[in-house]
Structure 1
Amino acid sequence: MAKRIVFVTVGTTCFDSLVKAVDTKQVKHELLKRGYTHLVIQMGRGSCTPTKSVGEDGSLDVDCFTFSSSIADHLRSASLVISHAGSGSIFETLRLGKPLIVVVNEDLMDNHQSELAEELAERKHLYCARPQTLHQTIAAMDLESLLPYPPGDATPVAKLINHFLGFADD
């Protein structure tokens, strides 16, 4: 069976609710059902350590780490990326053309990140979820329906940023 990796990243923050969500039986079950074989979790500053396991008896192979000098290799080898809503992680994943589920951290105050994620989800470039709805998003996702993000054109992003900052559109 081909190796199909799900890479989860929380960036440099603490996002234990995302780590806990991907460590649940429901999420692992949905990932297995969709043919994923490995779950690699970058857990950042969080205190929650996922249950590591070697994929046997039809279970996911689960591994985790806190930080890496570059997550680019993990992103490149992933069949699916589940990420926090940081713009760096979002755009790096989209640039690589990887299917992406962005999970919004509802514990952050003034959560402008959720607006970016929801806008990109509306444009069908990614899926947007909350930790408690992640398993439902995985169960319902149709990766074929996602549209590639147009590389190199910063205009949509600039317009989005200007909109959030309150500048009028041209």
Structure 2
Amino acid sequence: MGNNEDRSNSKRIVFVTVGTTCFDALVKAVDTQEVKETLSSKGYTDLLIQMGRGSYVPTKSSGEDGSLVVDYFTFSSSIADNLRSASLVISHAGSGSIFETLRLGKPLIVVVNEDLMDNHQSELAEELAERKHLFCARPQTLFQTIADMDLESLITYHPGDATPVAKLINKFLGFPDD
């Protein structure tokens, strides 16, 4: 892997989104040299980070030395285009971001924000990871998750049948299982 042939015409973008929140731990984790080198070794060419309300500013890179091209922005009226053009999405655990990414059939790593109290988001992410629709990580395990991920092991999420999700929501809300 990691060779630079046809790099110019075959961009493989990793899109990172924190939604409207502040999730500096995630932005810092993807901004580490080891994460960037691992993404590059897996054939990704660009890293685009949507950093939301965060104060940590990632390091931009033009990629001229053969490394990952890195860019960032704070907010966008719609990240749908970013999701569509991505080869891999690394997202916070917001259900909107998760389901929008899965609906587009994109490989997804969900990073759980452990600073949030009463974190139902982590339960959703872990349940979907158990069903092999996505990978679930914490900021401190993101590097290992990327290094170990096998995209072939993921199962496409089909949103047609809402029953499993409805049962999951009912379980979290404490309703009896029908």
Q: TM-score, normalised by structure 1?
A: 0.99
> Are 2:42 and 1:42 equivalent residues in the alignment?
no
Q: Distance in 2 between matches of 1:140 and 1:163?
A: 31
Letter paired with 2:154: L
Query: Which structure 2 residues correspond to residues 102-113 of structure 1 after superposition, within 5 A?
Result: 102-113=110-121
Q: Secondary structure at the match of 1:117?
A: helix
Taking only aligned residues, the RMSD between alpha carbons, in angstroms, comes to 0.6
Query: Which structure 2 residues correspond to residues 73-152 of structure 1 after superposition, within 5 A?
Result: 73-152=81-160
Q: Distance in 2 between matches of 1:95 and 1:154?
A: 13
Q: Distance in 1 between matches of 2:161 and 2:52?
A: 30
Letter paired with 1:60: L
1:103-138, Cα deviation, whole Å (9 max, x unpaired): 000000000000000000000000000001101000
Letter paired with 2:149: M
Q: Distance in 2 between matches of 1:76 and 1:155?
A: 27
Q: Which residue of 1 aligns with 2:34?
A: 26
Q: Distance in 1 between matches of 2:64 and 2:161?
A: 44
Q: Distance in 1 between matches of 2:161 and 2:23?
A: 30
Deviation at 1:57, TM superposition (A): 1.4
Q: TM-score, normalised by structure 2?
A: 0.94
Out of 74, 77, 95, the residue aligned to residue 69 of structure 1 is 77
Deviation at 1:155, TM superposition (A): 1.4
Deviation at 1:154, TM superposition (A): 1.6
1:87-114, Cα deviation, whole Å (9 max, x unpaired): 0000000000000000000000000000
Structure 1 portions without partners, runs of 5+: none
Structure 2 portions without partners, runs of 5+: 1-6
Deviation at 1:152, TM superposition (A): 2.5
Q: Distance in 2 between matches of 1:151 and 1:131?
A: 28
Point out 4+ residue stretches in structure 1 off by more than 3 angstroms: none
Letter paired with 1:162: N
Q: How many residues align?
A: 170
Q: Secondary structure at the match of 2:171?
A: helix
